[in-house]
């Protein structure tokens, strides 16, 4: 059960609610948002009738949540959440495209890619400074140097930046450079990391785990939300199945399913979802038709030279084709495509 306090609720109003909850033998979790304070009621709520809380001063509404994911549930907010970032809205009526190389390999390549994807209509730049790889001998990223390159390219192009953070100790560093913190598939259930990005207050892009159910994915989001960060973006990036012709199986049914269960925006990564550049464009079209709020696409000016994920990276000309085609699909389903509104300095 969740108690949503009104904007004008006083400290005394909140204390009264907390006292009532604890008198019923239950515990509370208080989350202070920009507009509302949320009091989560933890325990066997059968011992406390919602009517006992609704009549208290300052209470706007009481929501009984049946799912194990409380703060992420659709019932909690009653409508979709929109994540605002530098004039860009993720989760609204417009489709947001995030594009860039899998890994930051060097400044000139990164700048060339950023300028090209921005010209084609992308609104956010992606690029990995820290790269978790299956093999310890593969390229692991440039670390802080890569973060500095991303920040400089953002300054030149005006594109906000999303990059992955791998450990709780790196959150402060990555957050000082990035606009969105990415939690990769391997770290979806790294609960100490989820709690730390929950305290960072930067928007978080949470990728679905390789073999995770939808409920496990939403429970991972719950960790971030319960630590006070309500700016969470979910990313479907394919799950591991018996199929060998693709890198993963892109679960597009999860898009409308999750949007029915949760208020959080959902984007799709067809690059990791298929592992094949020739499948990225058709699956991107399908993702938009399924209701995705955005796309995350790997793009490289010379994929054959890429140090990471070259086979699934689009050439610049193919990315331009993708943008033209998804615009047509977006219009067909009543949406448009966001272009970056920030200005380069």
pLDDT reading at 305 higher than 90:
yes
Nearest Cα to Cα of residue 89 among 335, 345, 343? 335
Mention the CATH class of domain 2-64: alpha beta
> Is residue 342 over pLDDT 50?
no
Three-state secondary structure of 68-119 = CCCCCEHHHHCCCCCEEECCEEECCCEEEEEEECCECCCHHHHHHHHHHHHH
Boundaries of every domain in the chain: 2-64, 83-337
Residue 25: pLDDT over 50 = yes
Distance, CA of 257 to CA of 250 (rounded, Å) = 14
- Which of 119, 4, 103 is closest to 59 using CA atoms? 4
The residues with which 42 forms a beta bridge, in sequence order, are 27
Q: d(Cα 193, Cα 341) in Å, to the nearest integer?
A: 31
Structure tokens at 185: 């598939």
Lowest model confidence (mean pLDDT) among 75-84, 199-208, 213-222, 243-252: 75-84
Spatial distance between the Cα atoms of 277 and 212, rounded to a whole number of angstroms: 24
User: Is residue 291 pLDDT above 60, yes or no?
Assistant: yes
Cα(67)–Cα(80) distance, rounded to whole angstroms?
17
> What pLDDT is stored for residue 74 in this prediction?
87
Distance CA 336, CA 307 (A): 33
Could you tell me the pLDDT band of residue 34, with boundaries at 50, 70 and 90?
low
> Once rounded to an integer, what is the mean pLDDT over residues 296-322?
96
Q: How confident is the model at residue 2 (pLDDT cuts 50, 70, 90)?
A: confident
Confidence of residue 137 (pLDDT cuts 50, 70, 90): low
Query: What is the bridge-based pairing of β-strands 37-42 and 27-32?
Result: antiparallel
Give the mean model confidence (pLDDT) for residues 277-305. Answer: 97
Which string of DSSP letters, residue by residue, matches 26-84? -EEEEEE-SS-EEEEEES-GGGS-HHHHHTSTTEEEEE---SS--TTBHHHHSS---EE
Instruction: Tell the CATH topology of 83-337.
Output: TIM Barrel (3.20.20)
Name the least confident of 31-45, 62-76, 216-230, 307-321.
Answer: 31-45
* pLDDT above 90 coverage of the chain, percent: 76
pTM of the predicted model as reported, rounded to 2 decimal places: 0.88
Give the model's confidence band at 11: pLDDT under 50 very low, under 70 low, under 90 confident, else very high.
very high
Q: Inform me whether the pLDDT recorded for 53 exceeds 70.
A: yes
pLDDT at 262 over 60: yes
Higher-pLDDT residue of 138, 259: 259
Q: Is the pLDDT of residue 78 over 70?
A: no
**Taking residues 339-343, what's their average pLDDT?**
49
Q: What's the mean per-residue pLDDT of the chain? A: 92
| Tens-digit pLDDT profile for residues 186-235 | 999 999 999 999 999 899 999 999 999 999 999 999 999 988 899 999 99
- Distance between CA atoms of residues 182 and 174, nearest Å: 10
Q: Terminus-to-terminus CA distance in the chain, angstroms?
A: 47
pLDDT band at 339 (very low <50, low <70, confident <90, very high): low
Residue 1 has, within 13 A of its CA and on its CB side, a CA count of: 22
Stated as kind and residue range, the H or E segment containing 126 is strand 124-126
Q: Work out whether strand 204-207 and strand 180-183 pair parallel, antiparallel, or are unpaired.
A: parallel
Q: Which residues pair with 232 in a beta bridge?
A: 204
Alpha-carbon gap, residue 296 to 154, rounded angstroms: 17
Q: What is the pLDDT of residue 340?
A: 52
* Residue 344 pLDDT: 43
């Amino acid at each position: 059960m969740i108690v949503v306090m009104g904007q004008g609720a006083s400290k005394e109003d909140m204390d009264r609610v907390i006292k009532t909850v604890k008198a019923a033998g239950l515990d509370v979790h208080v989350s202070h948002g920009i507009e509302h304070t949320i009091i989560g009621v933890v325990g066997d709520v059968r011992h406390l009738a919602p009517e006992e809380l609704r009549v208290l001063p300052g209470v706007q509404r009481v929501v009984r949540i049946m799912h194990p994911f409380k703060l992420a549930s659709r019932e909690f907010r009653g409508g979709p959440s929109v994540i605002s970032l530098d004039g860009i809205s993720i989760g609204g009526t417009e489709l947001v495209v995030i594009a860039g190389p899998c890994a930051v390999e060097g400044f000139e390549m990164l700048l060339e890619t950023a300028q090209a994807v921005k010209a084609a209509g992308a609104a956010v730049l992606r690029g990995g400074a820290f790269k978790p790889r299956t093999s310890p001998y593969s390229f692991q990223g440039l670390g802080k140097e890569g973060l500095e390159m991303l920040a400089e390219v953002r300054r030149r192009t005006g594109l906000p930046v999303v990059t992955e953070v791998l450990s709780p100790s790196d959150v402060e560093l990555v957050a000082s450079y990035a606009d969105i913190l990415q939690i990769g598939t391997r770290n979806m259930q790294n609960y100490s990391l989820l709690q730390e990005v929950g305290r960072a207050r930067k928007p978080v892009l949470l990728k679905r785990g390789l073999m995770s159910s939808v409920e496990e994915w939403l429970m991972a989001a719950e960790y971030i939300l319960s630590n006070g960060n309500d700016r969470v973006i979910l990313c479907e990036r394919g799950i591991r199945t018996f199929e060998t012709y693709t890198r993963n199986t892109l679960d597009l049914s999860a898009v409308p399913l999750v949007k029915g269960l949760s208020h959080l925006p959902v984007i799709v990564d067809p690059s990791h979802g298929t592992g094949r550049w020739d499948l990225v464009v058709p699956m991107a079209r399908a993702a938009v038709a399924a209701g995705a709020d955005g796309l995350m696409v790997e793009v490289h000016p010379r994929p054959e030279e890429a140090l990471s994920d070259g086979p699934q990276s689009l050439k610049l000309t193919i990315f331009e084709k993708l943008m033209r085609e998804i615009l047509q699909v977006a219009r067909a389903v009543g949406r448009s495509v966001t272009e970056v509104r920030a200005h380069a300095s």
